[in-house]
Structure 1
């Protein structure tokens, strides 16, 4: 049987990071454990009425977020808007952003993080402050 650990992972097998204050990150596919070099796929779960915050300059990567479940209020630089399942949000490198989980259920996001330029994907690139 082939060793599939470098290219196959299941959500329940992913490393889970508890950032505290109702914010959990699951490392679904990351360079540290899989055969990828320039991106990361993580899941972010934010409990209701909790806020995940990334100040200006806190990220050195480009991000794409896909809202899977829940509802929230996104602040991207100076723009603020509601987010719901099915929304896809682009966040350029260095842009301050914040997500406030506002629904009855936890806000669940899939996060694709890609470094800009020739940088490798940084560990815990989707980690909130």
Structure 2
């Protein structure tokens, strides 16, 4: 199974980030038994942040590939930069704010796969 970045049409999620689904079972058929997951690239523009939100079912892994920002994860707040990976358990409020001059780019792995109806806005 292979997908191409240039073929992934971006869209805006409920939290306000721009997403490209790099691999999603609903689009690409990538799955193995009950172990469903998705991989996407999120882009947060300079000076912007996502809305505080949580996912009832999905666990997320964020891996920062470009830019810098501040992550809110539950009660914790900490800086993130390229090479950092953050685990976000289901039900945990989170957001990320871009504190740099360029785009903040994050690879997001969700299990089960990302779904709008699993996103609860908290603000």
**For the superposition of Structure 1 and Structure 2, which TM-score range results when normalised by the shorter chain?**
0.7 to 0.9
1:70-95 superposed Cα distances (whole Å, 9 cap, x missing partner): 00000000000000000000000010
When normalised by structure 2's length, the TM-score is 0.83
1:124/1:31 CA distance change after superposition, 3 Å: farther
Partner of 2:49: 51
* Counterpart contact for 2:61–2:88, Cα < 8 Å: yes
> 2-side partners of 1:25 and 1:127: how far apart?
14
Structure 2 unpaired stretches of 5+: none
Match of 1:91 among 88, 102, 105: 88
Q: Name whichever structure is richer in helix by fraction.
A: 2
**Structure 1 runs of 4+ with >6 Å offset:** 125-128
1:70/1:59 CA distance change after superposition, 3 Å: farther
How far apart are residue 21 of structure 1 and its match? 9.4
How far apart are residue 18 of structure 1 and its match? 3.0
Partner SS for 2:87: strand
2:33 is the counterpart of 1:35: no
* Counterpart contact for 2:73–2:94, Cα < 8 Å: yes
Partner of 1:110: 107
When normalised by structure 1's length, the TM-score is 0.80
Partner of 2:66: 69
Report how many residues are paired: 117
